Structure 1
Amino acid sequence: MLWLIIGFFLWNLVFDPTIHRDAFIFIAGLGVIWFLLLGLVYHYFGLTVEYFVVSNHIFFWKRHVYPLSDIKEIVFEGNGKGPNSLRLIAGDYKTKIYGASTLKDNTWLKLKEELEKMEVPVRNETILESIKV
């Protein structure tokens, strides 16, 4: 949907000579800022036999791949009223945080279960474990 909105704005900017350019550019600028902010919290995760993959719904070309053997710990964190996030702690203790507002609690718990099966330490600091998976 966001790509369609951006396309609509670009189409009108290029092909509609009657548009008030200043107002349009202001609204389009707000839309771009909103788009970029959403990109910070729209991550999703994949898991293979050897790798943990982090992708993004908005910036689909960005993908981070971590070998499971290089992961020291994964922490599920809550940010108050913000989205849940995943903190990945690598073997050299470098950390990276990925916001994931599109994931439901059941998905987080399934991810935790699958990571633990692959012997990756997971610390759950935000999702209630009593939710049925």
Structure 2
Amino acid sequence: ATTIHFDDNAKLILWEDMYNNLAELKGIIKEKVNDKIKDPKSKIVKSNLLFFDKRNYKGNPWTSINGIMLIGMISFWGYYIVTHPAKQNILILIPLFMCLFFYLFFGIQMNYFTIDAENLIIKNHFFPWKNKLYNLNDISEFVIESPYRRSNSLRIITKEFRSKLFGAGSLRDKHWREFRDDMIKLGIPVRADTSIG
């Protein structure tokens, strides 16, 4: 969320999820009142980048709650297929579609992060073809948050105020703390809107 404090102590809160054009709105506000903005600015410390080459922030996807739920669902439907032979070939598709649904549902929350050179790369345990690249110099700040009934996630906010949320279900609190501490050493502000210890 973005909070605007006025001179009369009133404040206006703009929630990320409520506005489709919040990036443009923040850009306009920055143009008008740039000298009064008190957000910490990211400033990459180039000398520290040498220590972060090929650094991964990921946990074990199979021991996370998402991995356990996925294994449980696939095991249940696999057992069901074996013990209840389909009278018609089309009926076997129902459990297969359920397995695919759960694979996709839990898979989108299984991202992990890699620092390579001056880039943050978002990869996925279950979708190996997924690679999203952000230049660290383009990132304004990180927010670690816990969306309702989903895995802890990393929100990346760019200097153009664009925001993207990546669920990271395999990361434990120790991985989040390591990520937070490392990004602060690099000079990028990190807010934790959830408890990571």
1:112 corresponds to 2:180:
yes
1:31 corresponds to 2:99:
yes
- Asked if the contact 1:74–1:122 (Cα under 8 Å) also holds between the matched residues in 2, the reply is yes
Q: 1:94 corresponds to which residue?
A: 162
1:77 corresponds to 2:145:
yes
TM-score, scaled to structure 2: 0.54
Q: Indicate how the Cα distance of structure 1 residues 19 and 103 shifts in structure 2: closer, same or farther if over 3 A, else same.
A: farther
Range moving further from structure 2, 73-82 or 63-72: 73-82
How far apart, CA to CA, are the structure 2 residues paired with 1:51 and 1:81?
Answer: 30
How far apart, CA to CA, are the structure 1 residues paired with 2:116 and 2:196?
Answer: 25
Q: 1:21 corresponds to which residue?
A: 89
- Asked if the contact 1:77–1:87 (Cα under 8 Å) also holds between the matched residues in 2, the reply is yes
TM-score, scaled to structure 1: 0.79
What fraction of aligned residue pairs are identical, expressed as a percent?
Answer: 30
- Asked if the contact 1:42–1:101 (Cα under 8 Å) also holds between the matched residues in 2, the reply is yes
1:20 shift after superposition: 4.1
Amino acid across the alignment from 1:37: F
Q: 1:13 corresponds to which residue?
A: none
Q: Indicate how the Cα distance of structure 1 residues 23 and 123 shifts in structure 2: closer, same or farther if over 3 A, else same.
A: same
Q: Which stretches of structure 1, 4 residues or longer, exceed 6 Å deviation after superposition?
A: none
Give the gaps of 5 or more residues in structure 2. 1-61, 63-69, 79-85
Q: 2:45 corresponds to which residue?
A: none
Give the gaps of 5 or more residues in structure 1. 10-17
Higher relative contact order structure (alpha carbons within 8 Å, sequence separation ≥ 6): 2
1:47 shift after superposition: 1.4
Q: 1:56 corresponds to which residue?
A: 124
Range moving further from structure 2, 76-85 or 110-119: 76-85
- Asked if the contact 1:72–1:89 (Cα under 8 Å) also holds between the matched residues in 2, the reply is yes
Deviations 1:5-60 (A, max 9, x none): 7xxx8xxxxxxxx8742221000011111111112100001113411111001111
Q: Indicate how the Cα distance of structure 1 residues 110 and 19 shifts in structure 2: closer, same or farther if over 3 A, else same.
A: farther
- Superposition CA RMSD, Å: 2.2
- Asked if the contact 2:176–2:196 (Cα under 8 Å) also holds between the matched residues in 1, the reply is no
Q: How many residues align?
A: 117
